[in-house]
Amino acid sequence: MTWVSAGRLEDIEQEGAIRFDHGGRTYAIYRGPDDSVYCTAGLCTHEAIHLADGLVMDFEVECPKHSGAFDYRAGEALRLPACENLKTYPAEVVDGEVRVALG
């Protein structure tokens, strides 16, 4: 498992998300309402739309285009038209730095 730095926690809005591109792939990194961090594949499983552009409320992210929704903690698809879960990756904060394991 390779841990990669994805920037500072303070650069992600609380209950928000950022897009993180690495190794030719795109991911979404979320900061929950309790400052916990999570990482998922960056594109909606219904259509390749960046989830980091979507609205994050509590532990849910809504796709900006078709309103499909996911629980970003486990990647579970919550609302159609999204029906396939998101792949998730371990994420942590060390001394204010967000790290994700993309291996």
Partner 1 sequence: MDGIVIIGAGESGTRAAFALREAGYSGAVTLVGAEPHMPYERPPLSKTPDGMVRMKLICPKEALEVAGITYLKGCSVSKLDPAAATVSLSDGQLLGYEKLLLTTGARPRRLACAGAERALDFRTHADAEAIFSNVAPGRRVAIIGAGLIGMELASVLRAKDVTVDVIEAAPKPLGRAVPARFADKLHARHVAEGVRFHFDRSVAEIGDDAVVLSDGTILPADFVVSAIGVQPEITLAEASGLATGNGILTDACLRTSAPNIFAAGDCAAVAQPGGGHIRYESWRNARTQAETAARNMAGAAETFAAIPWFWSDQYDLGLQVAGQPLPAHQSVRRSAPEGELEFYLDDGRLVAAAGLGIGNGLAKHIKLAEMLIAASICPEPVALADPGVNLKTLLKSARAA
Binding region for partner 1 (CB under 8 A): 15, 47, 49-50, 53-57, 62, 64-67, 80-81
Q: Which two tokens stand for residue 71?
A: 């629980």
Give 84 or 92: the residue with its C-beta nearer to partner 1.
Answer: 84
Q: How far is CA 97 from CA 9, 45, 82, 93, in A?
A: 6, 28, 31, 5
Give 64 or 90: the residue with its C-beta nearer to partner 1.
Answer: 64
Dihedrals φ, ψ of 86, to 5°?
A: -90, 145
Q: What is the secondary structure of 54-83 as a DSSP string?
A: SEEETTEEE-TTT--EEETTTTEEEETT--
Give 39 or 56: the residue with its C-beta nearer to partner 1.
Answer: 56
Q: How far is the CB of 33 from partner 1 (least distance, A)?
A: 11
Q: How far is the CB of 95 from partner 1 (least distance, A)?
A: 27
Q: How far is the CB of 26 from partner 1 (least distance, A)?
A: 13
